[in-house]
Structure 1
């Protein structure tokens, strides 16, 4: 289960938009204080927005993160199914082979 967000999505989008449209660019710390958010939170939002726009290569875009999480869940489920099938196959092989010692 995902933890609730401390700051609303509207505030995040507005803060990033304010940072990007200001000329010259304001200091992140000053803008964060003006908006009443933690400076590192604002810095993270700006970095994520840049990654989503393809301006950064050091972070995954939001869509890529969601896809990665979905694929990891799928792999986990498939591994669990394979383990069940492996166990069932060993059980039935033992039941069907009367010469095999138990």
Structure 2
């Protein structure tokens, strides 16, 4: 869902989360996450690695940003577009240019 349209009190299913549509919801279900509250305490980088392992392919790194956005949202932060976290992901993985 578009982060600007997310209403925290109305988040009941995965597609109610910021930045999550049908395809990402399917990825989360593959990871064993069926409800938004199951994201509490999850590490977005671990979720990304697990998704790569389960599917046998390397997903676009922007999935890390999506996972950061939803884990942070469930931890109480405001809903933000996934690309808000791009610099954080690049810094964490040492992908910044000198």
For normalisation by structure 2, the TM-score amounts to 0.30
| Larger RCO (CA under 8 A, 6+ residues apart) | 2
